Amino acid sequence: MRKFRLIASVAALAATFVLPFAVSAQQLTVSAAASLTDAFKELGPRFEAARPGSTLRFNFAASGALLQQIAQGAPVDVFASADQATMNRANDQKLIDADTRRNFVTNSLVLIEPAQGGAGIRSLQDLGNAAVKKIAIGKVATVPVGAYTRQVLDGARLWEPLEPKFVQADSVRQVLDYVGRGEVDAGFVYSTDATIAGDKVKVVATPTGHTPVSYPVAVIADSRQKALARDFTVFLAGDEAQAVFKRYGFGKP
Amino acid sequence: MTNSLLQLSQTTDWHPLWLSLQVAGVATLLALAAGVALGWLFARRPFPGSGVAEAVCMLPLVLPPTVIGYGILVMAGRRSPLGAWLRQHFDYTIIFSWHGAVVASAVVALPLVLKSASAAFAGVDRSLEAAASTLRQSPWSVFWRVTLPLAWPGILAGTLLAFARAMGEFGASLMVAGSIPGQTQTLSMAIYDEVQAGHDDRALLLVLVTSVISVLVLVVSNRFFSLR
């Protein structure tokens, strides 16, 4: 009896490892830029409803970090990046099916400060004031919003003077969190993120001087669900998804 | 391979290494002071609830680093009573400064000193302390000249472990101090940043350096443990 129980419990434990594989017959893993978190979480159930039997799994982080995961072999089916540069790197490393690549939304860069207790910033130049001690930006190498910020500040010749004040965050949502908590005096995020944060942050300016914030999506070359993945990329460009994106403040591709 | 590593080490920014040593050093001293004081208190002067108090002090050993980091943010951030008071009166904050990294590292290192100190003090022969008292030594003098020297090897072993732990601290200090190159980017954070950016060779070099230091510390610490 003892031996039977031991075998039964080991078998049950082993089953918990195997079962997820059985269920994943129609599972799609989507790695998406952090700024797409809320819109994609709303679109997920809609896509699953339109394709019964399919499940979507999302993985949100900075586009550069996601690319690293894919390059190291993470089992991802679709990659949605917040800038063309990261998708270009994915293409150069032969990680995507280039013919599935399409742009699906646009966004804009904004300068924000905490809603309460802010330093009263009105423009980019105000960032140089002594009252502004810390500015949150995305890590330039891995976070697209950081790259756009660098373009803007380089163009305004403010990057070097402001460099001692930067706190470099791992994703745009972390920048948003720092500003929302009041731990920094200013930050650069997308307008859609500022909307999500509601009354915790205040948009101060919408700087220009960066390449258009255009989000591409593509199917990963090693994906095992190519048909479903392609369906998803088409879905993102369709009317239903575009209406949802518009509600969150994204622009047309 | 050693040639290319040497070449790489010349172009590497070694600031994270010095910062790690600095942060870990200060944090270990803080943990040592608090750990010895609390260890003696729990071993020698048990009070109602001291078991619970000791368990609370040991919590950072088992809590996820993100919980510790969040706890420090909540207690010392701008929106907290303490943080707001410090900002207002001294224009001082630990958030996003190396002081924050020290606080986070000290919190996670404390349990290691505390446990070792508590065990070391409990192991000191009371009759020796009693003998010292009969020779008209004040309680303070008994502590410094009898108790502490006898407990020292155990305390030192725990302190070295605490130093190694503080050197490797990542999660909590990342949340509290951020990873600002030149200011708060310690060795573990530098490795994380290099891996994320895809610079595997630099990451490997930093990993080798961190590993060598940690192993050295553990080997020396082992020596002190076996002295007991």
* pLDDT tens figures, A119-147: 899 999 999 999 999 999 999 989 999 99
Cα–Cα distance measured from residue A193 to residue A34, given in angstroms and rounded to the nearest whole number: 9
Secondary structure (DSSP) of A193-253: HHHHTGGGEEEEE----S--EEEEEEEBTT-S-HHHHHHHHHHHHSHHHHHHHHHHTPBP-
Residue in B78, B193, B197 nearest the CB of A182:
B78
Cα–Cα distance measured from residue B27 to residue B105, given in angstroms and rounded to the nearest whole number: 6
A189 three-state secondary structure: strand
Report the pLDDT value the prediction gives residue B108, as an integer from 0 to 100: 96
Report the pLDDT value the prediction gives residue B31, as an integer from 0 to 100: 97
Residues 6+ apart with CB under 8 A from A35: A82, A107, A145, A172, A173, A189, A190, A192, A193
Report the pLDDT value the prediction gives residue A144, as an integer from 0 to 100: 96
B22 — pLDDT class (breaks 50, 70, 90) = very high
Mean pLDDT of A204-225: 94
Question: A109-205: which CATH topology?
Answer: D-Maltodextrin-Binding Protein; domain 2 (3.40.190)
Given this structure, which CATH class describes domain B13-227? mainly alpha
Write a three-state SS string for chain B. Answer: CHHHHHHHHHHCCCHHHHHHHHHHHHHHHHHHHHHHHHHHHHHHCCCCCHHHHHHHHHHHHCCCHHHHHHHHHHHHCCCCHHHHHHHHHHCCCCCCCHHHHHHHHHHHHHHHHHHHHHHHHHCCCHHHHHHHHHCCCCHHHHHHHHHHHHHHHHHHHHHHHHHHHHHHCCHHHHHHHCCCCCCCCCHHHHHHHHHHHCCHHHHHHHHHHHHHHHHHHHHHHHHHHHHC
A22 — pLDDT class (breaks 50, 70, 90) = low
Report the pLDDT value the prediction gives residue A20, as an integer from 0 to 100: 57
Please report residues of B whose CB lies closer than 8 A to that of A169.
178
Least confident of A64-68, A98-102, B10-14, B70-74: B10-14
CATH architecture observed for domain A2-106+213-248: 3-Layer(aba) Sandwich (3.40)
Angle at B40 between CA B35 and CA B42, to 5 degrees: 95
Q: Where are the domains of chain B?
A: 13-227
Least confident of A10-14, B95-99, B109-113, B125-129: A10-14
- The mean predicted confidence, pLDDT, of chain A is 92
Please report residues of B whose CB lies closer than 8 A to that of A181.
73, 77-79
Report the pLDDT value the prediction gives residue B225, as an integer from 0 to 100: 67
Cα–Cα distance measured from residue A219 to residue A223, given in angstroms and rounded to the nearest whole number: 7
Residue in B180, B195, B198 nearest the CB of A167:
B180
Largest pairwise CA distance in chain B: 67
Query: Which of A69, A162, A168 is the best residue to mutate to test the B interface, defined by the most B CB atoms within 10 Å of its own CB?
Result: A168
Min Cα distance B176 → chain A (Å) is 10
Which residues of chain A are in CATH 3.40.190.10 domains?
2-106+213-248, 109-205
Instruction: Give this complex's ipTM.
Output: 0.75
Report the pLDDT value the prediction gives residue A153, as an integer from 0 to 100: 96
**Looking at the complex, does the CB of residue B78 fall below 8 Å from at least one CB of chain A?**
yes
**Looking at the complex, does the CB of residue B94 fall below 8 Å from at least one CB of chain A?**
no
Cα–Cα distance measured from residue A18 to residue A22, given in angstroms and rounded to the nearest whole number: 7
Mean pLDDT of B45-67: 92
pTM of the predicted protein model:
0.82
Please report residues of A whose CB lies closer than 8 A to that of B195.
68
Query: Which of B196, B199, B200 is the best residue to mutate to test the A interface, defined by the most A CB atoms within 10 Å of its own CB?
Result: B196
Please report residues of B whose CB lies closer than 8 A to that of A167.
96, 178, 180
A68–B79 C-beta distance less than 8 A: no
Residues pairing with A107 in the sheet = A213
